[in-house]
Amino acid sequence: MSASRPTLLVTGASGHLGRRVVELLLERNAGPIIATTRNPESLADLAARGVDVRKADFEDPSSLAAAVTGAERALLVITDAVDRPGRRVAQHRAAIAALVEAGAKHVVYTSLPNPYVGSPVIIAEDHRLTEEALAATRLDFTILRNNLYTDLMLQSLPAAVASGTLLDARGAGKASFVTREDCARAAAGALAEGGSGRHTLDVTGPAAVSSPELAALVAEITGRPVAHVSVSPEELVKALTSHGLPAPIAALLASFDTAIAKGDLAAVTDTVARLGGQAPQTVRDFLVAHRAALG
């Protein structure tokens, strides 16, 4: 290890974001790189490219200690443990404690815009408490408050195209949608070249987009009429569950819509360009590139 070539660690490397960050680090010839996962066999191809793949269980302190040994800079990707309140925060705190014990210097954390007390977003508290846990340590950190993934539109917009109605609870509120790829680029940049200190950065696309604007854009791209209809969060949950979406997922989506209506996800920054080395992709360009998926 050296000051010019710190050992980098990426948690959750079997997930879409974590894996892509590792691939981008390899492209940059950064590292050495440690990738942790609950399923090391799923990263055999990365191991073959020189990545040190380690098994890590955020609920097993002994496995965590071994998994993070030697890491100088680490990307902590939020876990998917949402089956009971407090579980995910406990996992994050355990990972942070292990990194402190291992002598890590800097942690990059994937957070959420405006995770303030009282945020309507159901998962905001998980992010806020994790940010507070980092602030309570001696660690330097970069908190990347990722906006909503543009990629998630591919799950909702085909139904809007088919029905002619984009239904949500956003009113005229806007969100600065950002692609997962751009989030990965920003995270890789922060991890490899982010320097020292403590920073909290919003990670956004190049413009805030409202649902009326999105409906018009989708209609233009597909050549089919799409109208935006905004309802109450309660009505949205009812509509989503009536179409088979599990109630907890419907409630989470509605909570994001409430935050968008409040303006909590509307900020636009240059973080992606500064950390990722290129301008973020626009919603238009993303949807045009995925035109076939829209129906």
The tens digit of pLDDT for each residue in 58-117 reads 888 788 989 999 999 999 998 776 667 778 899 999 999 999 999 999 999 999 999 999
Task: Confirm if 143 and 112 have CB atoms less than 8 A apart.
Answer: no
Position 58 scores a pLDDT of 86
Provide the 3-class DSSP secondary structure of residue 121: coil
Strands (E), the chain: 8-10, 33-37, 52-55, 73-76, 106-111, 140-146, 165-168, 174-175, 198-203, 209-210, 227-230
Task: Confirm if 214 and 283 have CB atoms less than 8 A apart.
Answer: yes
Average pLDDT over residues 205-226: 98
Which residues lie across from 57 on neighbouring strands? none
Position 22 scores a pLDDT of 98
List domains and CATH numbers for the chain: 8-146+180-203+267-279 (3.40.50.720)
Position 61 scores a pLDDT of 79
Predicted TM-score of the model (pTM):
0.94
- What is the tens place of the pLDDT at every residue in 16-40? 999 999 999 999 999 899 999 989 9
Position 83 scores a pLDDT of 64
**In degrees rounded to 5, what are phi and psi of residue 197?**
95, -170
- What is the tens place of the pLDDT at every residue in 7-21? 999 999 999 999 999
Of 78-87, 136-145, 167-176, 273-282, which gets the smallest average pLDDT? 78-87
Position 2 scores a pLDDT of 44
Average pLDDT over residues 137-146: 97
Position 81 scores a pLDDT of 67
Q: Has residue 234 got a pLDDT over 70?
A: yes
Give CA–CA dist 65/56, Å, rounded: 9
> What's the token pair of residue 47?
């191991």
Q: Has residue 233 got a pLDDT over 70?
A: yes
Provide the 3-class DSSP secondary structure of residue 106: strand
Residues in the chain: 295
Residue closest to 261 by CA, chosen among 202, 193, 212, 207: 212
Average pLDDT over residues 273-281: 96
